[in-house]
Structure 1
Amino acid sequence: MTETTAPTIGHTTGYSGGHGVGESARRPDGTLKVTGEFAYASDLWLDGMVWGVTLRSPHASAWIRSIDVGPALKMAGVLAVLTHEDVPGVKFYGLEHKDQPVLAIDEVRFQGEPVALVAADHPETARRAAAAIVVEYELREAVTDPRKSEHFVRHQPVRRGDTFEAEVVVTGEYEVGMQDQAFLGPESGLAVPAEDGGVDLYIATQWLHVDRDQLAPCLGLPQDKVRLTLSGVGGAFGAREDLSMQVHACMLALRLDRPVKIVYGREESFFGHVHRHPAWMRYEHGATRDGRLVYVKADILLDGGAYCSSSPAVVGNAASLGAGPYEVPNVRVDATGVYTNNPPCGAMRGFGAVQACYAYESQMDRLAEACGLSPIEIRVRNAVSQGSRLITGQVIDSPAPLADMLRDLEAMPLPAPPPEPARDRDLRGLPGGVSQTTHGESVRRGVGYGVGIKNICFSEGFDDYSTARVRAELVGGEPHVTVHTAAAEVGQGLVTIQAQIARTELGIANVTVATADTAVGSAGSSSASRQSYVTGGAVKTACEAVRERFKGLPAAEALAAYGPIEETREYRHRPTYPLDPRTGQGDSHTQLALCVHRAVVDVDVDLGLVKVVELAAVQDVGRILNPQALEGQIHGGSAQGLGLALMEEIQIRDGQVLNPSFTDYLIPTILDMPPMTLKILENPDPAAPYGLRGAGEPPTLSSTPAIAAAVRAATGLRLTRVPIRPEDIALFEEQSGAESGKGVSDGKRA
């Protein structure tokens, strides 16, 4: 192996200042990212490195009859071509079940499944060589409609009560499309063979230790010879929980005894990670005439795609939170995940709760209409509070002031009404913007509301913990603290929070947060809005242990007297338990978070165009650790909810992805995001560090149904599927006009 220096990774996190918990401390990576100087995983470079490329299946379902790598090996510059026969260890991996092959063996189960690997001295050479590999496929019928699948990932019922008759009954069928996490930095990493026969992997991921735990058996290596270091991560939102190119890069590096870099292009990225589960849901709500819930029935079907990933946990969330944050004595919920030959689905911000939220909130609006109540009033009358029970029987044992949050939202001033249509009207404020498609002649305004409840941290008995190592010492005569965890900074500001906690607990301004790697104990995944809770708790606990060793002396005196002080601590939250497989009862969640949204939209009913005029949100976060970062999380979560409501969907036909690019897969831009009005409440959770409540996911839940409700209010259409497309509005508006202006549709696709 060529002697070389280690690659530049991540960001420098050492900085000084007085910002502790509760202040808007400056992010150490912020300036670098804005100026373009930040080093992402795709920027990794080592002398002597070569490039890896993956050959993927063009078919959703087929037998592999033969693979001829000869044409690729004959090409100049090609160094290796590997198939499943070259996997040095176990041939399968997976988050919850080891069902996904490192490279396809005798079949492919989705379009984009990895079949072979190529390493070459130039990325374009590697791409051409991959295209030269000849694979003989025998096509077979693909199962692409989850309603026809007979292969279950998990079925989770929830049963409570026995009264399923009511004075007022509303039913609805709802559908949620497949959403992509759409992170900006594609999958990338650099594998470097080590002198001890192991491998060092520099990788953009969400979960260093679980990556390692899956990698080592596939590589035929002990865990201590597979070392991972976090590289700059360009967003995640759940898509980096599963392995992508990690095993492939390491296999090539070990085969060649040379560093190997793999970077996906944008199109390949759409095939290289999991997506949000599309869902088909049927709900029935029964209530008294004055709007008190009597029962909820729900059937929730989630398409897990070709492999398991985290689908069982997603199904569990959809089931346990399937009736929303409402008191309901009688429940019959069935949540089911199935396998198909569609792309694999797994974790995405909101994790099962998003899909259910869209359906139950749409139902609450229908119930309000049937009972003659406002959308706010129907929710207030049924809102949970501290001491309420979820449908699983779990007691909400911390503040949950949902009724007050709804009243706060209702009291927020609405934006000014739209001006009358005029030729000189500012087009930037209209649906369609400066394209001059309208001057307001067919624009209608609507207001809608949404409420969401999201579990925080891992659930159902998962051993959820984090580890922190904190070292205090004198550097240049001044006290300095180094915080070392394996927690992945994926853009959420976790590095900043760790430093703020250390400053608060130790009273030392100079703090460095070391690059995350597997040289310290696991921190779990940067998902489930859990890192501030568990890694924050671990850092806090380790800092307290260091502070105890100061023996009451000021930091500088203690370190001068006792030398460097280092402590490592694990932090675990209170235990959770699996849901009963028959009744769905059990204390499955650690913490619950609430967010409520109001959306104001303008809709051009002739053109089917929607402009979100304003989003207002009220969220209880327990304790604010960093105000500016928190507001950014609420804005970002609301933006992803807006995307799901109006534009984001992976289009699939017969198992084939039709829009694997940001040209055709649309995500909200700054021009699509409206001004936001926020009210952030602090009702501490006594069981959590600092009383905090995870905040990153809840806004994604409630913004989607609020926007959909606002579009319904503007158009009078049922619109039971998201994302809402222009043709859903314009075509139905045209039809409803032809039917004597009824203005109501069943929401099915035209």
Structure 2
Amino acid sequence: MASPSGTPTKITQGSPTKGVIGESTLRPDGTLKVTGEFAYSSDMWHEDMLWGQILRSTVAHAEIVSIDTSQALAMPGVYAVLTYDDLPTDVKNYGLEIQDTPVLAHGKVRHHGEPVALVAADHPETARRAAAKINVDYRELPVITDEASATAPDALLVHENRDDHHAGHVPHPNIVHRQPIVRGDVAAARERADVIVEGEYTFGMQDQAFLGPESGLAVPEEDGGVHLYIATQWLHSDLRQIAPVLGLPEDKVRMTLSGVGGAFGGREDLSMQIHACLLALRTGKPVKIVYNRFESFFGHVHRHPAKLHYEHGATKDGKLTHMKCRIVLDGGAYASASPAVVGNASSLSVGPYVVEDVDIEAIALYTNNPPCGAMRGFGAVQACFAYEAQMDKLAAKLGMDPVEFRRLNAMEQGTLLPTGQPVDSPAPVAELLRRVKAMPMPPERQWESSEGADVRQLPGGLSNTTHGEGVVRGVGYAVGIKNVGFSEGFDDYSTAKVRVEVVAGEPVATVHTAMAEVGQGGVTVHAQIARTELGVTQVTIHPADTQVGSAGSTSASRQTYVTGGAVKNSCELVREKVLEIGRRKFGSYHPAWATAELLLEGGKVVTDGGEVLSDLADVLEGETVEVEAEWRHRPTEPFDLRTGQGNGHVQYSFAAHRAVVEVDTELGLVKVIELACAQDVGKALNPLSVLGQIQGGTTQGLGVAVMEEIVVDPKTAKVRNPSFTDYLIPTILDTPTIPVDVLELADEHAPYGLRGIGEAPTLSSTPAVLAAIRNATGLELNRTPVRPEHLTGTQLS
């Protein structure tokens, strides 16, 4: 150590802080999660707590004639039964953007599984049985399930008397939002086209399928408030919606993040938050609500199913001339995030390509189908499925290689999007395609060995349906573009509080944000940022709660960008304060304190030349430095409601995939052998976490390609498969090899040059798999997911 009065020394090799930006630091919660010791929200317990249960509608669209709760109230162990009439204030609706979702149904129900009544009891089974004794008399109404039934002249209105800010610009009250984008002259460009291709595409409703169902614990407080321990994606958004319904100021609704078992957008909307708080305040006791898996399918929004019509033109030398498309998203019974999903789907509907002349329309419908909202990829996934199929059609019609056709039309930095916004950071679309195509191909006929066929490598897997007869290999490519962060003028910011102090003779940093850790690894990255900026080894991540400013939502690939930016900003301000203290304490000892740029590294204060001036602990002795600061990215603006022009997005991420599949063409079975990915991440703050995000997003895209779909009966609008028995998600046996080539081209506008990465691989993996199956079978396959009957022509019941 160099004492304040000693001679400065050079910092020794090996003393820089470990676990900083650019290193693969392990997750602090990783071991607990894989061993089953991690405490999730469903594990919470309070000594005298009650259990809450929600009664949900058994029909999709009906008038509520009456509700009789007398039998439920008479049951021993029941403490409360609440209906709409028991809500404490005039605020009875909530919503992310449009407050159209009732806390409990009133007058009528609009979708299968809508909450109608609440029960609190001393045992979960008692609460369940009491809910079953509530008698609701319904008068069923016709269901609205598609665009034709939603916009017919005599269509029933899902929401009567709409007065939200989108109502004035939509052509029908059953349309939530409409966003056109018009640029150039499509009619003239169409005349220049040598080839034109069209396609009608159908994208199925996907569930987030997170492993931890919705759950939380509401504890009444002595001051009349309530403390909610909850698994969510955005504490402050929940708070904004909860407090008015309870009739409480926000400072009396305290919220702490509990263990989150995955999210993927499904926890952006409220589920049981208000219900648990209402029951806790009514009974004066803590109330815990835990959904079972069946209820979870009704308790959160899903990915919008979509119908997409596309037309593309190209010259004979392969240059795109124009694009027309119409995207119809089914938003279900309530708005949720549908307006923003429409904005994403329309603005990203061209994909990562240069097209000067476009005519685009995207709408979201109100129907009596399950509500749909945020899910990983957020509108860009549906569009990517369609435009990538179009690229393959054009390449085939022109006799061109599908990858080279894409590279010929690939956007780059400086390209204008259809909205007129220039892409002002690296856009290595052509390079990603080149890289993914150059990756080694997996061996042929991997199932063959000297000891016989390994059925795990065959279509059908362990079902042992084929030993290689009729199995054909296919290869397909796709690339996608996804925006990062909230868009269209949203004030997207985050807050971080950072404190540095000496504990047991060692400098320790504490990082406190409201960021929801849902599995993305933010708790790891925040510690890496603090070590990088403050030069300390010991970093504590404070539990996320509403006692610090908002961190925004853990969605839109924004948390590392925005909350990471806030942590970096606060650390920089803390560092300046620490150095001010050092200058005040020790400036008279060495001129370097006053004249040189000072850094914190390895627990020491050093000059930019590497000379050690003091231990950080000596500087901080008797002092605590704390800063709470916000960080915002560059402003955006809404898209024009007539032309769609505007600088609506702040950053873009790009990923390309090559899928290799093997298809049993007789049985209609598909085995995805490999999903190779190349992605630009700007800067890999934690390379191991980057790899996990890319592989995870890729697998989610695989699921919607070949197995995942919530099936809704078109006659009744009821969900037919609300369980993991009937709603299939990829297991480890379905997950292929996923080699990843990571490109790091820094975005100068972002902290450390990073680029949000979590969503882009979900876009391109789905169309790559479909392209590979088309390549193997020669079939058009214009819907997701692909089922065996689509490959064999045999319709299954």
In the superposition, the TM-score normalised over structure 2's length comes to 0.89
Deviations 1:478-503 (A, max 9, x none): 10010000000001101000000000
C-alpha displacement at 1:281, in angstroms? 0.4
Secondary structure of 1:597's aligned partner: strand
Conserved in 2, the CA contact under 8 Å of 1:277 and 1:303? yes
Tell me the amino acid that sits aligned with residue 331 of structure 2.
G
Q: Which whole-Å CA distance do the structure 1 matches of 2:561 and 2:692 have between them? A: 18
Q: Which whole-Å CA distance do the structure 2 matches of 1:147 and 1:603 have between them? A: 36
C-alpha displacement at 1:148, in angstroms? 2.7
Tell me the amino acid that sits aligned with residue 470 of structure 1.
V
Q: Which whole-Å CA distance do the structure 2 matches of 1:87 and 1:289 have between them? A: 65
**Counterpart for residue 387 of structure 1:** 414
Conserved in 2, the CA contact under 8 Å of 1:17 and 1:510? no
Superposed counterparts of 1:401-440, under 5 Å: 401-418=428-445, 424-440=452-468
**Counterpart for residue 44 of structure 1:** 44
C-alpha displacement at 1:410, in angstroms? 1.5
Conserved in 1, the CA contact under 8 Å of 2:708 and 2:728? yes
Conserved in 2, the CA contact under 8 Å of 1:295 and 1:329? yes
C-alpha displacement at 1:537, in angstroms? 0.3
2:173 aligned with 1:156: no
Tell me the amino acid that sits aligned with residue 511 of structure 2.
V
Conserved in 2, the CA contact under 8 Å of 1:479 and 1:559? no
Q: 1:656 to 1:569 in 2, by over 3 A?
A: same
Tell me the amino acid that sits aligned with residue 157 of structure 1.
P
C-alpha displacement at 1:18, in angstroms? 2.1
Q: Which whole-Å CA distance do the structure 1 matches of 2:691 and 2:139 have between them? A: 52
C-alpha displacement at 1:559, in angstroms? 4.4
User: For 1:680, which of 735, 742, 746 is the aligned residue?
Assistant: 742
2:367 aligned with 1:324: no
User: For 2:295, which of 243, 268, 274 is the aligned residue?
Assistant: 268
Q: Which whole-Å CA distance do the structure 1 matches of 2:385 and 2:769 have between them? A: 10
Superposed counterparts of 1:239-258, under 5 Å: 239-258=266-285
User: For 2:326, which of 299, 315, 338 is the aligned residue?
Assistant: 299
Q: Which whole-Å CA distance do the structure 2 matches of 1:304 and 1:146 have between them? A: 11
Q: Which whole-Å CA distance do the structure 2 matches of 1:631 and 1:561 have between them? A: 41
Conserved in 1, the CA contact under 8 Å of 2:458 and 2:466? yes
**Counterpart for residue 248 of structure 2:** 221
2:74 aligned with 1:74: yes
**Counterpart for residue 600 of structure 1:** 660
C-alpha displacement at 1:418, in angstroms? 1.8
Q: Which whole-Å CA distance do the structure 2 matches of 1:560 and 1:524 have between them? A: 32
**Counterpart for residue 743 of structure 1:** none
User: For 2:544, which of 516, 519, 522 is the aligned residue?
Assistant: 516
2:525 aligned with 1:497: yes
Q: Which whole-Å CA distance do the structure 2 matches of 1:51 and 1:441 have between them? A: 55
Superposed counterparts of 1:462-611, under 5 Å: 462-551=490-579, 552=598, 553=605, 554=614, 556-557=616-617, 559-561=619-621, 563-611=623-671
**Counterpart for residue 756 of structure 2:** 694
User: For 2:257, which of 208, 230, 240 is the aligned residue?
Assistant: 230
Q: Which whole-Å CA distance do the structure 1 matches of 2:548 and 2:440 have between them? A: 50
C-alpha displacement at 1:86, in angstroms? 1.2
C-alpha displacement at 1:172, in angstroms? 0.5
Tell me the amino acid that sits aligned with residue 125 of structure 2.
E
Q: Which whole-Å CA distance do the structure 1 matches of 2:456 and 2:292 have between them? A: 33
Q: Which whole-Å CA distance do the structure 1 matches of 2:372 and 2:430 have between them? A: 35
**Counterpart for residue 686 of structure 2:** 626
**Counterpart for residue 109 of structure 1:** 110
Q: RMSD between aligned alpha carbons?
A: 1.4
C-alpha displacement at 1:425, in angstroms? 2.0
4+ residue runs over 4 A deviation: 419-423, 552-555
Q: Which whole-Å CA distance do the structure 1 matches of 2:39 and 2:53 have between them? A: 22
**Counterpart for residue 675 of structure 2:** 615
Deviations 1:279-305 (A, max 9, x none): 000000011011100000000000000
Unaligned residue ranges in structure 1 (runs of 5+): 1-15, 735-748
Deviations 1:361-397 (A, max 9, x none): 0000000001110110110010000010111111000
**Counterpart for residue 25 of structure 1:** 25
Q: Which whole-Å CA distance do the structure 1 matches of 2:182 and 2:103 have between them? A: 39
Tell me the amino acid that sits aligned with residue 200 of structure 1.
H
Conserved in 2, the CA contact under 8 Å of 1:186 and 1:263? yes
Superposed counterparts of 1:452-471, under 5 Å: 452-471=480-499
C-alpha displacement at 1:404, in angstroms? 1.3
C-alpha displacement at 1:17, in angstroms? 8.0
Conserved in 1, the CA contact under 8 Å of 2:312 and 2:324? yes
Secondary structure of 1:657's aligned partner: coil
Point out the more displaced range, 404-413 or 219-228: 404-413
Conserved in 2, the CA contact under 8 Å of 1:306 and 1:341? yes
Conserved in 1, the CA contact under 8 Å of 2:447 and 2:456? no
Q: Which whole-Å CA distance do the structure 1 matches of 2:229 and 2:311 have between them? A: 49
Conserved in 2, the CA contact under 8 Å of 1:384 and 1:400? yes
Q: Which whole-Å CA distance do the structure 2 matches of 1:558 and 1:518 have between them? A: 33
Conserved in 2, the CA contact under 8 Å of 1:154 and 1:336? yes
C-alpha displacement at 1:145, in angstroms? 1.8
Q: Which whole-Å CA distance do the structure 1 matches of 2:295 and 2:336 have between them? A: 19
Deviations 1:544-563 (A, max 9, x none): 00101122445634543460
Conserved in 2, the CA contact under 8 Å of 1:599 and 1:615? yes
Deviations 1:643-696 (A, max 9, x none): 000000001002110110001100001111111111100000000000000000
Percent of aligned positions with the same letter in both sequences? 64
Point out the more displaced range, 137-146 or 177-186: 137-146
Q: 1:81 to 1:419 in 2, by over 3 A?
A: closer
**Counterpart for residue 711 of structure 1:** 773
Conserved in 2, the CA contact under 8 Å of 1:189 and 1:262? yes
Deviations 1:447-503 (A, max 9, x none): 000111000000000000000000000111110010000000001101000000000
Q: Which whole-Å CA distance do the structure 2 matches of 1:357 and 1:158 have between them? A: 17
Conserved in 1, the CA contact under 8 Å of 2:194 and 2:313? yes
Secondary structure of 2:578's aligned partner: coil
Secondary structure of 1:676's aligned partner: coil
Tell me the amino acid that sits aligned with residue 112 of structure 2.
Q
| Higher gyration radius (CA) | 2
Q: Which whole-Å CA distance do the structure 2 matches of 1:213 and 1:587 have between them? A: 28
Point out the more displaced range, 155-164 or 173-182: 155-164
Secondary structure of 2:208's aligned partner: coil
Tell me the amino acid that sits aligned with residue 149 of structure 2.
K
Secondary structure of 1:550's aligned partner: helix
Conserved in 1, the CA contact under 8 Å of 2:207 and 2:709? yes
Q: Which whole-Å CA distance do the structure 1 matches of 2:388 and 2:619 have between them? A: 56
Point out the more displaced range, 637-646 or 550-559: 550-559
Q: 1:39 to 1:538 in 2, by over 3 A?
A: same
**Counterpart for residue 205 of structure 1:** 232
2:469 aligned with 1:441: yes
Tell me the amino acid that sits aligned with residue 345 of structure 1.
C
Give the aligned length.
Answer: 720
Conserved in 2, the CA contact under 8 Å of 1:474 and 1:559? no
Q: Which whole-Å CA distance do the structure 1 matches of 2:41 and 2:717 have between them? A: 31
Superposed counterparts of 1:83-102, under 5 Å: 83-89=83-89, 90-102=91-103
Conserved in 2, the CA contact under 8 Å of 1:61 and 1:141? yes
**Counterpart for residue 6 of structure 1:** none
Conserved in 2, the CA contact under 8 Å of 1:473 and 1:559? no
Unaligned residue ranges in structure 2 (runs of 5+): 1-15, 152-173, 580-597, 599-604, 606-613
Q: Which whole-Å CA distance do the structure 1 matches of 2:122 and 2:513 have between them? A: 35
Deviations 1:494-517 (A, max 9, x none): 100000000000000000000000
Q: Which whole-Å CA distance do the structure 2 matches of 1:369 and 1:693 have between them? A: 33
Q: Which whole-Å CA distance do the structure 1 matches of 2:448 and 2:256 have between them? A: 58
Q: 1:421 to 1:413 in 2, by over 3 A?
A: closer
